[in-house]
């Protein structure tokens, strides 16, 4: 049974009805005896390993529930295995598929690199990610599955039963399946909700301008996140230069692959109080009426390091900002000489941001 990317909701499958029919036939057969039903769940190797591990278990559980609901079989008839990222089937499929232009290089990486995360990095680095994206499109979809084997016996007087199995699924069982015991299933959700990622961030462009800032990004779902940067600089840079800000710019983001990795687009709003002097002529501040506006942005998040907890994010956005201002002479006790309001259209968000993230959905297996 196949699943959509990052999902554990079974897709329609014509092979299930014959399987249900065979189960019913075995259960009522006067000679053969049903022993158990083996269920294995797996995920394709893109994305975070911890998430894929949990996804494999959730898919095995989903197929188990579906069979139980359709047949009335209780939980003791099932044995489940969490196969995690199905690298074994991927290598077998790749070896027989000549559509992948760098197939031989990828096979060499698989055979010479035992660490799965290192495998991903090396394949992505082959040609700027083109081969990796083709593999995701053409080879990975069948790996997002749950498979089953029906085991039944024919009792004999000598106690030795002839064991048979339901015809093998398209993808064979991995040689070393990961144990399912103790691995908790994440809350069900069509978009991968339950995978909580949190990142602490600082925008290096504002740091370089001596504007203190700190942000937090929260992702409760695979493709969505909320970024909340805050700027607070109550100090003067020099006697006639200052960028005093108290501002916040929340942004909701959509990630086509997975949150906090790769490309994203965002919709942000901004609210800011300001007191700014950038030259000797004037100092501008808001008259107790905050600047506000909206904008759209595009960006790219690049994970760093072996554990990929650190990251760099590059983003640029445009929109509008409505504001009022009072202008003062830029000197000590300078008098106000103008007031006004305006609507700015242009760049509203820019950043080279350093981040560190935590996966709050990670749980250790029980002993």
Q: Is the pLDDT of residue 35 over 70?
A: yes
| Position 156 confidence tier, pLDDT thresholds 50, 70, 90 | low
Tell me: do 208 and 299 sit in the same domain. yes
* CA atoms of 217 and 204, how far apart (whole Å): 16
CATH number of the domain at 58, please.
3.30.1330.60
Does any domain span residue 172?
no
Strands (E), 9-143: 33-43, 78-85
Tell me: do 158 and 212 sit in the same domain. no
Least Cα distance to 186 among 234, 222, 136 occurs for 222
Taking only the tens place, the pLDDT of each residue in 212-223 is: 999 999 998 878
Q: Is the pLDDT of residue 163 over 60?
A: no
Tokens of 220: 């409760």
CA distances from 366 to 57, 187, 194 (A): 15, 18, 20
Average pLDDT on 16-36 reads 85
Average pLDDT on 13-34 reads 83
Return the pLDDT at 181. 34
Least Cα distance to 248 among 280, 281, 291 occurs for 291
Average pLDDT on 309-327 reads 94
Return the pLDDT at 193. 53
Phi, psi angles (nearest 5°) of residue 118: -65, -35
CA distances from 15 to 22, 68, 294 (A): 11, 16, 50
| Position 164 confidence tier, pLDDT thresholds 50, 70, 90 | very low
User: Among residues of the chain, what percentage have pLDDT more than 90?
Assistant: 43
| Position 157 confidence tier, pLDDT thresholds 50, 70, 90 | low
> Between these two residues, 365 and 353, which has the higher pLDDT value?
353
Average pLDDT value for the chain = 83
Tell me: do 155 and 258 sit in the same domain. no
Strands (E), the chain: 33-43, 78-85, 146-154, 162-165, 197-203, 213-221, 224-233, 242-248, 251-254, 262-277, 282-285, 291-304, 310-329, 336-359
Q: In total, how many domains does the chain have?
A: 2
Half-sphere exposure of 133 (CA within 13 A, CB side): 7
* CA atoms of 55 and 142, how far apart (whole Å): 15
CATH number of the domain at 250, please.
2.40.160
Does any domain span residue 364?
no
Does any domain span residue 186?
no
Tell me: do 47 and 152 sit in the same domain. yes
In SS3 terms, 154-185 reads as: ECCCCCCCEEEECCCCCCCCCCCCECCCCCCC
Q: Is the pLDDT of residue 64 over 60?
A: yes
Return the pLDDT at 363. 43
Q: Is the pLDDT of residue 318 over 90?
A: yes
* CA atoms of 182 and 198, how far apart (whole Å): 25
Average pLDDT on 230-249 reads 87
Dihedral angle over CA of 50, 52, 56, 59, nearest 10: 120
Angle of helix 103-112 versus helix 130-138 axis, rounded to 10? 90
Does any domain span residue 184?
no
Return the pLDDT at 12. 72
Range of the domain at 275: 197-359
Q: Report the DSSP pairing between strands 33-43 and 78-85.
A: parallel
Tell me: do 270 and 339 sit in the same domain. yes
Angle of helix 103-112 versus helix 87-95 axis, rounded to 10? 140
Tell me: do 78 and 221 sit in the same domain. no
Tell me: do 332 and 237 sit in the same domain. yes
Q: Is the pLDDT of residue 254 over 50?
A: yes
Return the pLDDT at 361. 55
Q: Which of 89-93, 108-112, 267-271 has the highest mean pLDDT?
A: 267-271
Q: Is the pLDDT of residue 228 over 60?
A: yes
| Position 162 confidence tier, pLDDT thresholds 50, 70, 90 | very low
| Residues whose CB is less than 8 angstroms from the CB of residue 177 and which lie 6 or more positions away in sequence, other chains included | 40, 81, 82, 83
Taking only the tens place, the pLDDT of each residue in 171-204 is: 333 333 333 333 333 333 334 555 688 999 999 9
Does any domain span residue 4?
no
Instruction: Tell me the β-bridge partners of 312.
Output: 302, 354
Does any domain span residue 107?
no
Residue-wise over 20-56: b if at least 16 C-beta within 10 A, else e? eeebeebeeeeebebbebbbbbbbbbbbbeebbbbbb
């Amino acid at each position: 049974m196949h699943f959509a990317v990052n999902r554990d909701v079974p897709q329609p499958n014509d092979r299930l009805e014959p399987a249900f029919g065979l189960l019913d036939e075995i259960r009522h057969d006067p000679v053969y005896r049903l022993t158990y039903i083996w269920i294995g769940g797996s995920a394709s190797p893109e994305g975070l390993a911890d998430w894929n591990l949990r996804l494999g278990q959730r898919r095995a559980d989903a197929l188990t529930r579906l069979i139980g609901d359709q047949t009335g079989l209780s939980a003791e008839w099932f044995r489940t295995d969490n196969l995690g990222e199905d690298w074994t089937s991927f290598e077998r499929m790749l070896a027989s598929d000549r559509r992948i232009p760098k197939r031989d290089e990828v096979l060499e990486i698989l055979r010479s690199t035992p660490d799965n995360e290192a495998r991903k990095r090396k394949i992505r680095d082959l040609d700027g990610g083109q081969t990796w994206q083709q593999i995701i499109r053409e080879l990975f979809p069948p790996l997002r599955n749950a498979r089953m084997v029906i085991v039944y016996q024919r009792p004999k007087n000598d106690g030795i039963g002839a064991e048979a199995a339901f015809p093998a699924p398209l993808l064979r069982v991995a040689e070393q399946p990961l144990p399912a015991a103790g691995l908790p299933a994440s809350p069900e959700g069509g978009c991968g909700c339950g995978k909580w990622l949190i990142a602490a961030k600082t925008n290096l462009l504002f740091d370089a301008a001596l504007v203190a800032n700190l942000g937090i990004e929260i992702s409760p779902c695979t493709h969505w996140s909320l970024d909340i940067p805050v700027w607070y600089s109550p100090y003067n840079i020099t006697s006639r230069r200052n960028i005093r800000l108290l501002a916040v710019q929340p942004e909701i983001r959509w990630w086509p692959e997975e949150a906090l990795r790769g490309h994203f687009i965002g919709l942000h709003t901004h609210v800011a109080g300001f007191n700014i002097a950038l030259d000797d002529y004037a100092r501008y501040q808001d008259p107790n009426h905050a600047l506000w506006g909206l904008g759209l942005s595009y960006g790219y998040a690049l994970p760093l390091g072996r554990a990929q907890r650190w990251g760099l994010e590059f983003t640029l956005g445009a929109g509008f900002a409505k504001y009022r201002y009072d202008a003062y002479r830029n000197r000590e006790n300078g008098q106000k000489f103008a007031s006004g309001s305006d609507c700015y259209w242009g760049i509203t968000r820019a950043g080279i941001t350093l981040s560190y993230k935590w996966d709050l959905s990670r749980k250790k297996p029980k002993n």
